[in-house]
C-alpha cells in the first residue's frame, strides 16, 4: 500500500464526503475545516463566514489503486467549479471550490488540470477553483462524519446529496468500490 492524502473543498462536506467515500482505493474520508484564521473552529463559527475556513474533506487513499488525477477528475465532475463561493443554495466563502495542495506536484498538476479543463470548453463559465497552500486541517465535529450514511432520510441528504451520488454512480462505475 502506498498511502497519500488530498484535501478538497467543493461545497457542503456532506456531499463531498459521501462521493469520495465510494471510490475504490480510498482508505478514509474525514470532513473538516481548512484555510481560515481561527484555531479549532466550530461548525457554527465556520458557517458564520467570519473564520475564512472552507468546509473540506481530507481523503486518504492508496496511490497504487487511485491516482491524484482521478481524484481531481471526481472533484471537478461532482461540483460546479464555476460558481464563486457557492454550491447550489449553499452560499458563502466556506462553500468555495478549492484544492489545498501540500507540495509542488499537487500545485502544478492542479494548475495543468484546470488549464486543460478551461481549454476543453467543458464548462461554459470560467473555473474559479482556488489553489491554496495546505494549512492546518481541523476535523469536523463527530456528527458530521459519515453524515449521509448515518442520516439518509435527512431532507438535505434526500434533495442534494443522494442525487449527486446517484448521478456519480451512473457515470463513474470503474472508480467505485465493488
47 is catalytic: no
Provide the sign of the torsion angle of the four alpha carbons 73, 107, 50, 20, taken in this order. positive
Domain range for 162 is: 3-175
Q: What is the CATH number of the domain that holds 169?
A: 3.30.1060.10
Number of domains in the chain: 1
pLDDT tens, residue by residue, 81-112 = 999 999 999 999 999 999 999 999 999 999 99
Look at residue 178 in the predicted model and tell me its pLDDT.
Answer: 79
Q: Cell for 178?
A: 465493488
Q: What is the pLDDT of residues 40-75, one digit of tens each?
A: 999 999 999 999 999 999 999 999 999 999 999 999
Return the residue matching grid coordinates 488549464. 115
Q: Kindly state the percentage of the chain with pLDDT values over 90.
A: 92
Q: What is the pTM of this model?
A: 0.96
Q: What is the pLDDT of residue 102?
A: 98
> Considering 12, 15, 47, 157, which one is annotated as catalytic?
12
What's the CA dihedral at 149, 152, 157, 163 to 10 degrees? 90
Mean confidence (pLDDT) of the chain? 96
Paired residues of 132 in beta bridges: 100
Q: How far apart are CA 139 and CA 141, in angstroms?
A: 7
Tell me whether strands 138-139 and 86-87 are parallel, antiparallel or unpaired: unpaired
Amino acid at each position: 500500500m502506498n498511502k497519500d492524502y488530498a484535501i478538497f473543498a467543493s461545497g457542503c462536506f456532506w456531499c463531498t464526503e459521501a462521493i469520495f467515500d465510494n471510490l475504490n482505493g480510498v482508505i478514509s474520508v474525514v470532513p473538516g475545516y481548512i484555510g481560515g484564521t481561527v484555531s479549532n473552529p466550530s461548525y457554527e463559527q465556520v458557517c458564520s463566514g467570519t473564520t475564512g475556513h472552507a468546509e473540506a474533506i481530507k481523503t486518504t487513499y492508496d496511490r497504487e489503486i487511485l491516482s491524484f488525477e482521478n481524484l481531481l477528475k471526481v472533484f471537478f465532475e461532482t461540483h460546479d467549479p464555476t460558481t464563486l463561493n457557492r454550491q447550489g443554495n449553499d452560499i458563502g466563502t466556506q462553500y468555495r471550490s478549492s484544492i489545498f495542495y501540500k507540495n509542488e506536484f499537487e500545485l502544478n498538476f492542479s494548475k495543468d488540470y484546470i488549464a486543460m479543463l478551461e481549454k476543453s470548453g467543458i464548462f461554459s463559465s470560467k473555473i474559479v477553483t482556488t489553489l491554496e497552500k495546505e494549512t492546518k486541517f481541523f476535523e469536523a465535529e463527530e456528527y458530521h462524519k459519515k453524515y449521509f450514511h448515518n442520516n439518509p432520510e435527512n431532507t438535505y441528504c434526500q434533495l442534494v446529496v443522494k442525487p449527486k451520488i446517484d448521478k456519480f454512480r451512473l457515470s463513474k462505475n470503474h472508480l467505485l468500490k465493488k
